[in-house]
């Protein structure tokens, strides 16, 4: 909007062509449309947050200017994959289901097997006599072996065995799927962390360069060295770099938490650490104080 007002003023004074004003007006309208889209997306995201927490925060805390990403420890993907395949909660749950299904198969198959039971019986019988006697007490003890061979139960045993086998095969399939998904999550999250760190460093330098470029072209536009379109392009490039820089920092946090989730080590401490990276004080722009200290003009 500031550039549009500048272009409008220069056009009214006869210092700029009508095309400069049209370019500025078109870019302003496009930016207002994107702002509206972003506000709608923000509102939807807040409603999604409400679904999870039951509340909508009054203000969103941005990342602190001093936030610096750190490499994962260990700084290699294979240890993370190995830990995930062993400790991931979904993998552990599916592993237990496989073991339970295996035991169920054994139990159902046992219905076809003969059984040999040892049966013991003790009996005490007392008979009352008369006034003249004749009462008695008899104790008997029996120990027997009972052999049972199931021949046919109407197919019930075979049906239960087949059902148990199907459940076992399904449990194994789900377990193998969980292993593959967990390995993919661990690898993609680790690479996401490393990529985010590299992007943060690169975009940090790009922001400094883009800010300097914009200010130089704004000054050049006032003196007639650059066109309005050149200034608008520089503004667009700066805001794109700011958005990418912010997104890369958030991607780092999300991938770090996903990596912990993949190997089953995500804890409340990790969430508290991530929370400490945010500050209640809103920043004025995507440029951090550290960037400005590197020589970026105000």
Cα–Cα distance, 261 to 270 (Å, whole number)? 10
What b/e string do you get for 166-178 counting C-beta neighbours within 10 Å, with b at 16 or more? ebbeebeebbeeb
pLDDT tens for each residue of 83-115: 999 999 999 999 999 999 999 888 777 666 676
Helix (H/G/I), strand (E/B), else coil: 16:
coil
Task: Please say if the pLDDT value at position 286 is more than 50.
Answer: no
Cβ of 238: how many Cβ atoms within 10 Å? 22
Task: Please say if the pLDDT value at position 52 is more than 60.
Answer: yes
Among 32-36, 50-54, 136-140, 264-268, name the one with the lowest average pLDDT: 136-140
Radius of gyration of the chain (CA): 38
Cα–Cα distance, 262 to 260 (Å, whole number)? 5
- The whole-number pLDDT of residue 141 equals 83
What do you get for the CA distance between the two ends of the chain, in Å? Answer: 19
Q: Provide the whole-model pTM.
A: 0.69
pLDDT tens for each residue of 256-276: 999 999 999 999 999 998 988
CB 111 within 8 A of CB 151: no
Task: Compute the average pLDDT of residues 10-20.
Answer: 61
Task: Please report the DSSP string for 278-295 in residue order.
Answer: B-SSPPSSS--HHHHHTT
Average pLDDT score, the chain: 81
Whose tokens are 């993919």? That residue is 184
pLDDT tens for each residue of 145-182: 776 766 666 566 677 788 888 999 999 999 999 999 99
How, if at all, do strands 136-148 and 115-127 pair? Answer: antiparallel
């Amino acid at each position: 909007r500031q550039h549009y007002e500048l272009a409008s003023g220069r056009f009214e004074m006869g210092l700029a062509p009508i095309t400069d004003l049209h370019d500025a007006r078109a870019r302003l309208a496009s930016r207002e449309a994107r702002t509206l889209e972003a506000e709608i997306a923000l509102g939807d995201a807040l409603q999604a947050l409400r679904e999870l927490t039951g509340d909508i925060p009054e203000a969103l805390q941005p990342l602190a200017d001093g936030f610096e990403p750190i490499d994962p420890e260990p700084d290699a993907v294979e240890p993370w994959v190995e830990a995930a395949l062993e400790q991931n909660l979904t993998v552990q749950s599916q592993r237990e289901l496989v073991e339970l299904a295996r035991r169920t198969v054994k139990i159902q198959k046992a219905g076809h097997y003969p059984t040999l039971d040892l049966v013991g019986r003790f009996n005490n019988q007392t008979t009352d006599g008369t006034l003249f006697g004749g009462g008695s007490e008899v104790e008997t003890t029996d120990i027997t072996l009972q052999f049972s061979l199931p021949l046919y139960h109407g197919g019930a045993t075979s049906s239960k065995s087949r059902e148990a086998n199907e459940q076992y095969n399904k449990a194994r399939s789900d377990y193998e799927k969980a292993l593959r998904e967990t390995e993919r999550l661990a690898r993609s999250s680790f690479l996401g962390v490393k990529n985010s760190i590299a992007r943060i460093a690169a975009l940090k330098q790009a922001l400094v360069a883009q800010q300097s470029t914009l200010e130089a072209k704004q000054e050049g536009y006032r003196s007639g060295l650059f066109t309005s379109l050149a200034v608008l392009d520089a503004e667009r490039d700066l805001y794109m770099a700011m958005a990418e820089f912010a997104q890369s920092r958030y991607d780092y946090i999300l991938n770090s938490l996903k990596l912990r989730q993949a190997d089953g080590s995500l804890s409340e401490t990790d969430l508290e650490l991530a929370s400490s990276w945010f500050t209640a004080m809103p920043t004025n722009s995507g440029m951090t104080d550290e960037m400005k200290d590197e020589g970026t003009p105000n």
